[in-house]
Structure 1
Amino acid sequence: MDRVTTITRLKGSWLHLSLRFVFWLCSLESILALHTPPEPSHISSASRLSSPPKSGIFEPIQISPAVIPNYSFPVESLPPMYPTYPKIYDPVLTGRCPVNFSAISSIMEKTASDCDQPLASVVGNVICCPQFSSLLHIFQGFYTVNSDKLVLQNAVADDCFQDIVSILASRGANSSIPIICSAKSYNLTGGSCPVKDITSFEKIVNTSKLLEACSTVDPLKECCRPICQPVIMEAALKISRMQSFMNDNKNIVGLSNHVDMLNDCKGVVYSYISRKLTHDSANTAFRILSACKVNKACPLDLKQPSEVIAACQNVAAPSPSCCSSLNTYIAGIQRQMLITNRQAIICAIAFGSMLRKGGVMTNIYELCDVDLEDFSLQGEKNAGCLLRSLPADMVYDNSTGFSITCDLSDNIAAPWPSSSSITSISLCAPEMSLPALPTSQTLGNPGCRGCGVDLLVLILFVFSTLLF
Structure 2
Amino acid sequence: MENSIGIHISQSALFNWLIIFFISIFGIRDVLPQETTIKTDSHAVVSVKASLLPKGLLGPIDISPAVIPHDQYPIEPQSPMYPSFPSTYDPILTGRCQLNFSNMASIIDKTASDCSAPLASLVGNVICCPQVNSLVHILQGTYGKNSGSLVLQQAAAEDCFSDIMSILASRGANDTIPGICSIDSAPLTGGSCPVQDVETFEKTVNTSLLLDSCSTVDPLKECCRPICQPAIMEAAVRLSQRESSPLDNAKIPGKSVGVDVLSDCKGIVYSWLSQKLSLDDANAAFRMLSSCKVNKVCPLQFKDPSTVIKDCRDPPSANSSCCNSLDIYISDVQKQMLITNRQAINCAMFFGSLLQKGGVVTNVYDLCNIDLKDFSLQAYRQQGCLLRSLPADVLYDNYTGYSFTCDLSDNIGAPWPSSSSLSSLSLCAPEMSLPALPVSQNSRASGGSRGLGLALTLVLSSLSYTQRAIP
Verify same fold: TM over 0.5. Answer: yes
SS of the residue aligned with 2:160? helix
| 1:387-427 deviations in Å (ceiling 9; x for gaps) | 01010000011123211101144520000000385325310
Structure (1/2) with the larger strand percentage: 2
Q: Which residue of 2 aligns with 1:417?
A: 417
- Give the 5 Å matches for 1:285-324: 285-324=285-324
Equivalent pair of 1:356/1:420 in contact (CA under 8 Å): no
- Give the 5 Å matches for 1:217-228: 217-228=217-228
| 1:71-128 deviations in Å (ceiling 9; x for gaps) | xx996326799543446x3101111111111110000000000000011000000010
* Separation in structure 2 between the aligned mates of residue 404 and residue 379 of structure 1, nearest angstrom: 12
- Give the 5 Å matches for 1:9-158: 76-77=77-78, 82-86=83-87, 89-158=89-158
Equivalent pair of 2:192/2:258 in contact (CA under 8 Å): no
Q: What residue identity is the alignment partner of 1:345? A: I
Larger relative contact order (Cα-Cα within 8 Å, sequence gap ≥ 6): 1
* Separation in structure 1 between the aligned mates of residue 129 and residue 80 of structure 2, nearest angstrom: 24
Equivalent pair of 1:81/1:402 in contact (CA under 8 Å): no
Equivalent pair of 1:386/1:410 in contact (CA under 8 Å): no
Q: What residue identity is the alignment partner of 1:107? A: I
Q: What stretches of structure 1 of length at least 5 have no aligned partner?
A: 1-44, 47-72, 244-255, 439-449, 464-468
- Larger Rg, first or second structure (1 or 2): 2
Q: Which residue of 2 aligns with 1:431?
A: 432
Q: For the structure 1 residues 116 and 314, does the alpha-carbon distance in structure 2 shift closer, same or farther, using more than 3 Å as the test? A: same
- Give the 5 Å matches for 1:347-362: 347-362=347-362
- Give the 5 Å matches for 1:113-262: 113-241=113-241, 260-262=260-262
Q: What residue identity is the alignment partner of 2:338? A: L
* Separation in structure 2 between the aligned mates of residue 451 and residue 304 of structure 1, nearest angstrom: 32
Aligned-residue CA RMSD (Å): 2.8
TM-score by length of 1: 0.73
Aligned residues: percent identity? 61
Q: Which residue of 2 aligns with 1:49?
A: none
Q: Which residue of 1 aligns with 2:374?
A: 374
Q: For the structure 1 residues 82 and 118, does the alpha-carbon distance in structure 2 shift closer, same or farther, using more than 3 Å as the test? A: farther
Q: For the structure 1 residues 386 and 148, does the alpha-carbon distance in structure 2 shift closer, same or farther, using more than 3 Å as the test? A: same
Q: Which residue of 1 aligns with 2:404?
A: 404
- Give the 5 Å matches for 1:327-338: 327-338=327-338
TM-score by length of 2: 0.73
Q: What residue identity is the alignment partner of 2:77? A: E
Q: For the structure 1 residues 186 and 304, does the alpha-carbon distance in structure 2 shift closer, same or farther, using more than 3 Å as the test? A: same
Q: What residue identity is the alignment partner of 2:78? A: S
Are residue 384 (structure 1) and residue 381 (structure 2) matched? no
Cα offset, 1:332, TM superposition: 1.1
Equivalences, count = 368
| 1:238-289 deviations in Å (ceiling 9; x for gaps) | 101189xxxxxxxxxxxx9957221111110000000001101100111111
Equivalent pair of 1:363/1:416 in contact (CA under 8 Å): yes
* Separation in structure 2 between the aligned mates of residue 434 and residue 80 of structure 1, nearest angstrom: 46
Q: What stretches of structure 2 of length at least 5 have no aligned partner?
A: 1-64, 67-73, 244-255, 455-471
SS of the residue aligned with 1:412? coil
Q: Which residue of 2 aligns with 1:13?
A: none
Q: What residue identity is the alignment partner of 2:346? A: I
Q: What residue identity is the alignment partner of 2:345? A: I
Cα offset, 1:319, TM superposition: 3.9
* Separation in structure 2 between the aligned mates of residue 130 and residue 196 of structure 1, nearest angstrom: 24
Q: What residue identity is the alignment partner of 1:168? A: L
Cα offset, 1:432, TM superposition: 3.1
